[in-house]
Amino acid sequence: AKPVFETLKGWHCDIRGIKEFDKLPKEAQDYVLFIEKQLGHKINMVSNGPEREAIIYRD
């Protein structure tokens, strides 16, 4: 087996409190979409903070 490393751009802002996926920084959206592609499955919930309510629900 050979490991494959991918480097993605990070985001340098606080995303806590954001409730809509489209309002996340482009780099954060790209990260979620990359994970989806690698898993082959849609991600329906994205946590953006330590609180229980800090969840972005995606359709």
Taking only the tens place, the pLDDT of each residue in 25-36 is 999 999 999 999
Q: What is the mean pLDDT of residues 13-26?
A: 95
Convert the pLDDT of each residue in 40-55 to its tens digit.
999 999 999 999 999 9
Q: Which residues contact 9 (CB under 8 A, 6 or more apart)?
A: 27, 30
Query: What's the rounded Cα separation, in Å, for the pair 38 and 13?
Result: 25
Other C-beta atoms closer than 10 Å to the C-beta of 24 total 19
Query: What's the rounded Cα separation, in Å, for the pair 5 and 14?
Result: 26
Q: What is the pTM of this model?
A: 0.86
